[in-house]
Structure 1
Amino acid sequence: MKFKFFCPRWGNEHVSWDSFCQRVQDEGYDGVEYGIPNEVDVKELDEAWTNFDKFGLDAIPQHYGTYDSDFSKHYENYGGWLDMVKPYKALKIDSQTGKDYFSFEQNKKLVERAAEHTNATGVEVYHETHRNKFTFAAHITFDYLQRIPELRITLDASHWVNVAESFLEDQQAALELAIARTEHIHARVGYPEGPQVPDPAAPEWNEALQHHLGWWDKIVERKQSENAELVTITPEFGPYPYMVHLPYSQKPISDQWANNVYMMKLLKERYSKL
């Protein structure tokens, strides 16, 4: 079973694509997860994919920016984003989908729109567990997973830990079903009062890290039992405001890039014998 690790473009938007992809390659990542705004110059996309090809990197486009509260506009704009990325080669798509206040039927229509994209392109769309989206909490996502058997997710458990103010000890059924339906991992470590610990290497955050490692291990074990060929992981520690800044000086409390490289190397070593 092969593992591929993806570097988030998030937090590095100020760096040229050439310099960024060179650094991604040098660190040992296999690809880039690229959060693409709904309104973006096609020249930016062309430049990104030119550099992915140049440096031999796979791409995971990430949807995040459909915010319309009017469902008809939301549906149209979500579909527009999927159509925009259709010409660009992708290993899979990570989608922050819908809204927490849309009805089940409305969010289901968005899941069905994503399935249409998959049917047309062959590129799977996985719906990320994320605050503010339809997957914002473990118990809510549990209901969707039960009612939509074909639904597959990107698991970012850091959001659920934050929403539930716990390590989800009392929601084992929801976690088990989520683990069974996960096809991409966002390896960020959350804690009950926030979606991102300041530094995953710091000993004071080891309890939070161990909870997340346990969930990721179960996904990997499931994949291994299924004889899967590939597991994809994006270490996704983010910049401000996920990365808390020190008061007054506005200096970040730790290094975003270093946190993600640490997580990648930790997981590479952990799963190196599989």
Structure 2
Amino acid sequence: MQQLKIYQSRWAMELRRPDGVERTDEEAFALVAEAGFHGMALDLGASDMAEAKKTLPLFRKHNLECMINAFPDTIDGLQPVLDMAKEFDASYVNIIGQVMPFTVDEGVEVVKRWMEMAEASGVDVLFETHRNCITNDLFYTLQLMDRLPEMPICADLSHYIVDREFWFPLSAGDQALIRRILKRADMFQGRISNREQVQIQIDFPRHQKWVEQYKAWWEEGIGYWKGRHGPDDTMIFLTELGPPEYAITGADGFELSDRWEEALKIKGWVEDIWART
């Protein structure tokens, strides 16, 4: 039977409050486990590898699965992350590649090399739709996907809505571009943006049109995933609401909403979508 697993991001558990109050990793892992998440994602863009490796006992203590977000800035820079993934028994290494060739031909060679390295290491990888990396631009990424049908995609649509400044409601043409990502995505990330801000508060009335649009995209994408995958496959959905400066703050430096409560709400939405899709 197909299964949904929802992970939370360790980076998203950071508070970064102006008064210095912060969660410990122990507190964060305990909260995530108690809330019924299946795993935690380690973000090597927010923490170096040595610090991230210290969390291995917490994964075991709280019976949480692991995935790793990697930001390799050279081809060979991915290998230490693949080695770490074996140590942590990570479900995926999610690549936000900092090698950014100008041409699609060059990009194809980079992606192929990273996929070959992952296969040789016995580690599953994804390529996240993300700004400031090899998949920075929607049009460039679609060309990579066309050239590499085997390129696995992690869909974080928030980056492309900002990158392309898509108007709401989206035109049929723009929706068709997003649909090409949805049809290929093997994993989804839960962040909601509008055309100007990569992470918006999900309870504000003025943001509801975008909330409903993202819910519709996740439902469509999950439907495609279920149709493409086998009866015993597992889909991971990652809630990843970043701390300031991703999260918008007031003049006092405090956030305008509670990201942990928002993560729990998105988790519930996705569980409902999965059940009815």
Runs of 5+ consecutive residues of structure 2 not aligned to the other structure: 15-21
CA distance in structure 1 between the partners assigned to 2:184 and 2:143 by the alignment: 13
Quick one: which amino acid aligns to residue 194 of structure 2?
A: Y
SS of the residue aligned with 2:226?
helix
Task: Kindly report which structure 2 residues correspond to 1:49-68, keeping only aligned pairs within 5 A, or say none.
Answer: 49-64=56-71, 66-67=72-73
Contact 1:138–1:171 (CA under 8 A) maintained in structure 2? no
CA distance in structure 2 between the partners assigned to 1:217 and 1:256 by the alignment: 22
Identify the match of residue 217 of structure 1 among 199, 203, 219: 219
Task: Kindly report which structure 2 residues correspond to 1:86-97, keeping only aligned pairs within 5 A, or say none.
Answer: 86-97=86-97
CA deviations over 1:147-204 (Å, ceiling 9, x no partner): 111111110111110011115533344323211211110111110111111x113332
When the two chains are superposed, the root-mean-square deviation of aligned CA atoms in Å is 2.3
- Number of aligned residues: 264
Task: Name the structure 2 match of 1:208.
Answer: 210
Q: Which has the higher contact order (CA 8 A, sep 6+)?
A: 2
Task: Name the structure 2 match of 1:117.
Answer: 117
Task: Name the structure 2 match of 1:70.
Answer: none
CA deviations over 1:192-235 (Å, ceiling 9, x no partner): 111111x1133321111122112211121112223542221011
SS of the residue aligned with 2:250?
coil
Task: Name the structure 2 match of 1:194.
Answer: 197
Moved more, 86-95 or 1-10: 86-95
Contact 2:85–2:93 (CA under 8 A) maintained in structure 1? no
Quick one: which amino acid aligns to residue 246 of structure 1?
A: G
Moved more, 162-171 or 236-245: 162-171
Task: Name the structure 1 match of 2:126.
Answer: 126
Q: Does 1:181 align with 2:189?
A: no
SS of the residue aligned with 1:28?
coil
Task: Name the structure 2 match of 1:35.
Answer: 43
Contact 1:97–1:110 (CA under 8 A) maintained in structure 2? no
Q: Does 1:252 align with 2:259?
A: no
Percent identical across equivalent pairs?
A: 21
Q: CA deviation at 1:100?
A: 4.8
